[in-house]
Structure 1
Amino acid sequence: MQSTEWQRVENPDFGYAVRIPRGWDERPPNLKNSPWETVRFGDPADRRHSVIVFRQAVRPGRSALELAELVQPSLESAGFTDFEITESGLGGKSGALLRCARHDAGRTWAVSEYIVVEGKVSFCLGCGTSIPDEDETLFARMAEGFELIG
């Protein structure tokens, strides 16, 4: 993978900063997709990948792995399959990684959702791509650069 130049986008209202590739643009959340969306990012020159940041209140004591398991049925109802939930990290904190894909007409849309719980709030860096082999490292680096602030 070529060297990536990064830009840091801070969202103090929601308590995080995300590192995205320079040149990607910020888009408003699609609240019809989820009321927990805070922002979307994408490459205006390449629509094969995008990122959404979700933030929501959670019940005390709930783990990131539990949240990933709770998200799975809604993704299944949207046509996603090939689920894999593992321990992972987001912004240097322990969490979960949910991976799945939707297959349609010979195309694949692969999703990697990095989830972390901080107190009574969960954060999810939801990454989607039609070129998963090329974007796996990019998304992992974005998850490493995610910061909880405030």
Structure 2
Amino acid sequence: MSESVIPEGPASPEIGWRQVVKPEFGYFLSIPESWEERPPNLKNSPWEPARFAEPGDRRHTVIVFRNPVFRRRSALEPAESIRESLTGAGFVDFRIEETAVARRSGARIDCARHDAGRVWAVREYLVITEEANMCLGLGSAAPDADAALPDKDAALFDELAARRELLSD
């Protein structure tokens, strides 16, 4: 794994960023400097090559998924499959839309799981390359049980997604 510190982003000047390059998986992304890479959780998905979180603070996570491409299709198709899987895991409040991801046509999924007065909000960005269905999954524990995606986390999610790039076409 190759890492380097990159300049602070304009949207979040208080956050220092470092770049994580994963050429073996065809992407790089930038994460907050204080975050650490954690081992993939293959029980979560066999297609998970990486996950990142702040040490000692499990309120925010970033997970990367890289699934093989069985046929070329729009990113909305796997988004619907992901919705089915997440629904089975107790997620609700789905919103799926087309969006640009790493300067490509992609999809975005927003949803949340409500449990015992807590919320786990998820935002996933999907894009399909020649080699893989790539997904950047962002998760946040929201203090307000009524908020599907808390505003304070939305800026972090947007910044993380904007800093993700693909290495392959």
For residue 113 of structure 1, what is the aligned residue in structure 2?
A: 124
Whole-angstrom distance in 1 between the partners of 2:14 and 2:105: 27
For residue 141 of structure 2, what is the aligned residue in structure 1?
A: 130
Match of 2:107 among 87, 93, 96: 96
* Larger deviation, residues 11-20 vs 126-135: 126-135
Cα deviation 1:25-69 (Å, max 9, x = unaligned) = 001100111000011100114211101000011232211111101
- Give the 3-state SS of the residue equivalent to 1:130 in structure 2: strand
Q: Contact conserved, 1:60 with 1:119, CA < 8 A, in 2?
A: no
Deviation of the 1:8 alpha carbon: 0.3
> With structure 1 as the length reference, what TM-score do the two structures score?
0.94
Consecutive unaligned residues of structure 2, counting only runs of 5 or more, are: 1-11, 143-149
Q: Contact conserved, 1:41 with 1:51, CA < 8 A, in 2?
A: yes
- Give the 3-state SS of the residue equivalent to 1:113 in structure 2: strand
For residue 14 of structure 1, what is the aligned residue in structure 2?
A: 25
Whole-angstrom distance in 2 between the partners of 1:14 and 1:25: 18
For residue 89 of structure 2, what is the aligned residue in structure 1?
A: 78
Q: How many positions carry a matched residue from both structures? A: 150
Q: Which amino acid aligns with 2:75?
A: A
Cα RMSD for the two superposed structures? 1.3
> With structure 2 as the length reference, what TM-score do the two structures score?
0.84
Q: Which amino acid aligns with 1:139?
A: F
Whole-angstrom distance in 2 between the partners of 1:29 and 1:120: 20
Consecutive unaligned residues of structure 1, counting only runs of 5 or more, are: none
1:139 partnered with 2:150: no
Deviation of the 1:120 alpha carbon: 3.9
Q: How does 1:29-44 map to 2 (within 5 A)?
A: 29-44=40-55
Which stretches of structure 1, 4 residues or more, deviate above 4 A after TM superposition?
none
Q: Contact conserved, 1:84 with 1:98, CA < 8 A, in 2?
A: yes
Identity %: 53
1:148 partnered with 2:159: no
1:54 partnered with 2:86: no
Q: Which amino acid aligns with 1:90?
A: V
Larger radius of gyration: 2
Report 1 or 2 for greater relative contact order, CA contacts < 8 Å, sequence distance ≥ 6.
1
Deviation of the 1:92 alpha carbon: 2.0
Q: Which amino acid aligns with 1:141?
A: E
